[in-house]
Amino acid sequence: MATPQQQIRLQIHQLLDACLFAFTFWLAVELRQAQWVIDALHLVAPPPEGTIFWYYLVLIPMAPLVLEWQGYYSLPLLENRWTKWWVIVRSCAIVTGALVLLSFFFQFVFARLVVIWFGAITFMVLVLKDEVMRLTLGNAFMASHYGRRILLLGAPAEIGQLQQQVHSLPLESIRAVDSCNVLDTPIDKLVDCLHQYSTNVVILSGRHLPFDKVEEAIRACELEGVEVWLMADFIRTEISRTSFAMLAGRPLLVFRAAPEASWQSLVKYLIDFVGTVGLLSLLALPMVIIALGIRYTSPGPVLFRQKRAGLNGRPFTMLKFRTMVTNAEQLKQELEALNEMSGPVFKVTNDPRVTPVGRFLRKYSLDELPQLLNVLVGDMSLVGPRPLPVDEVARFDDVAHRRRLSVRPGLTCLWQVSGRSDVKDFAEWVRLDLQYIDNWSLWLDFNILLRTIPAVLSGSGAK
């Protein structure tokens, strides 16, 4: 049960941690260049540091992501110190290692002591910040003066479970002062409870309450200026995550079964654009060579264009280097009996329609390179479920399979790095795609991109 205050506190922590990482990196660089440090440690004066602006562009968004990945933000405020310190050590080591890799790939050279000092100083600063937070937000004075005094409202069948859930929260700043059976309690008695305990939050569970009782309780709290948290579990969902929104001034409950728009999704779009521009710059010459190879070894166009189902099923024209003979679509019907995939997807080992050059391109997934243009215009992403032809999507025999269309399709996906040549069942393919959607994060995207490299180099390409 994440309270609004917890969500705000988490965002403040993430912003503060990003600034602290940037500050400690600046401090490590300045210390290494300070003359008194050079004299004290008998060091050689370092050459002028190149621009470190690019480090900050990577470091600031990466720091809170690493801390979140390591579970730092999910730890209770008063968690055992050794547990928190170990998480901080791991996070500092990962960020430091990432900076070293960044300097290697982009040839940004800085002194080795900068790396050591950056990791050590960052650890000490984060521990200090953690101790300050522990002292200020965890003491009894702060909890009593600024904490939440909660009154629990609901039907008798729900009050007991609600009490257990609130008492299990590892926060001293949230305390349930009493509970009240709204079904049998007059509204004036509810108001008396608000006065008696100086309640500033009411948690109302309306699952087994008539709507008029819910409305009456909320109106009473509204007149008293008391905040109400209405439990939104009166509609059971298996997949969707619930969020709140406003439409024309009216409150909405949003049930979303796909990743919501967030700062992580914004970073994903930026990575798609920057990564695609970089890849197209690096691969422009190889793509020209491939195009010439196709043009002079097989009659027909260089590019193969096909309508694929994009976000929410919207058709778009996907580009590939042509790897088959020009009448491949007409020959497909003759090969239907050889299809090795269950469901609507068509896959054949040693497809006779594939040209010799096309076989090589498919083995190393080079035929997919023109799809970088699809990523650039926004039809696809670098990572996401592979787009299927529109006619195959129309033959889905399970409505649940369409949920894989709730995100933008990608160049690579979890299926492709999970031994795609061995996956014969379309339902397993969909399961991997839905697993990606339900667990999406930037780290999962990075993991898939890293796993794609050995998968491509090993030649386990598409059939």
Q: What is the pLDDT of residues 195-243, one digit of tens each?
A: 877 777 888 887 777 788 888 888 888 888 888 888 766 677 667 777 7
Distance of CA 79 to the CA centre of its chain: 25
- Integer Cα distance of 152 and 406 in angstroms: 37
- 419 sits in the region (left: phi over 0; alpha: psi -120 to 50; else beta) called left
pLDDT score of 423: 63
Q: Where are the alpha helices (DSSP H) in 169-262?
A: 187-196, 211-224
Q: Indicate the DSSP class of residue 48.
A: P
The CA-based angle 457-461-463, given to 5 degrees, is 160
Mean pLDDT of 373-383: 94
Tell me which range, 4-18, 343-357, 382-396, is most confidently predicted by mean pLDDT.
Answer: 382-396
Coil, strand or helix at 370 = coil
Reported as a pLDDT band with limits 50, 70 and 90, residue 315 is very high
Q: Are 52 and 82 in contact (CB under 8 A)?
A: no
- With 0-12 / 13-18 / 19 or more C-beta atoms within 10 angstroms meaning exposed / middle / buried, residue 174 is buried
Examine the pLDDT at 433 and tell me if it is beyond 50. Answer: yes
pLDDT score of 49: 52
Q: Indicate the DSSP class of residue 459.
A: T
Q: Are 242 and 253 in contact (CB under 8 A)?
A: yes
Mean pLDDT of 128-145: 64
- Integer Cα distance of 449 and 286 in angstroms: 20
pLDDT score of 375: 95
Tell me which range, 54-58, 117-121, 235-239, 263-267, is most confidently predicted by mean pLDDT.
Answer: 117-121
* Lowest mean pLDDT across 85-99, 169-183, 387-401: 169-183
pLDDT score of 424: 67
Reported as a pLDDT band with limits 50, 70 and 90, residue 287 is very high
pLDDT score of 51: 56
Structure tokens at 241: 């995550």
Reported as a pLDDT band with limits 50, 70 and 90, residue 460 is low
pLDDT score of 303: 93
Mean pLDDT of 341-346: 66
Residue type, 4: P
* Lowest mean pLDDT across 52-56, 112-116, 305-309, 444-448: 52-56
- Angle of the 53-69 helix axis to the 4-33 helix axis, nearest 10: 140
pLDDT score of 47: 47
pLDDT score of 302: 92
pLDDT score of 52: 65
- Integer Cα distance of 7 and 1 in angstroms: 10
Mean pLDDT of 249-266: 76
pLDDT score of 280: 93
Q: Are 31 and 63 in contact (CB under 8 A)?
A: no
Examine the pLDDT at 306 and tell me if it is beyond 70. Answer: yes
Domains of the chain, earliest start first: 4-137 (no CATH), 147-234 (3.40.640.10), 263-457 (no CATH)
Residue type, 98: A
Please enumerate in sequence order all residues whose Cβ is within 8 A of that of 419, keeping only pairs 6 or more positions apart, or say none: 460
Mean pLDDT of 29-55: 59
pLDDT, tens only, 151-201: 888 777 777 777 777 766 655 456 666 777 776 777 788 888 888 777 778
Mean pLDDT of the chain: 78
Reported as a pLDDT band with limits 50, 70 and 90, residue 97 is confident
Coil, strand or helix at 87 = helix
pLDDT score of 1: 44
Q: Indicate the DSSP class of residue 425.
A: -
With b for 16 or more beta-carbon neighbours within 10 A and e for fewer, the 186-206 pattern comes to: eeeebeebbeeeebbbbbbbb
Examine the pLDDT at 142 and tell me if it is beyond 50. Answer: no
- Integer Cα distance of 331 and 375 in angstroms: 30
Coil, strand or helix at 54 = helix
Mean pLDDT of 307-311: 92
pLDDT score of 374: 95
Examine the pLDDT at 250 and tell me if it is beyond 80. Answer: no
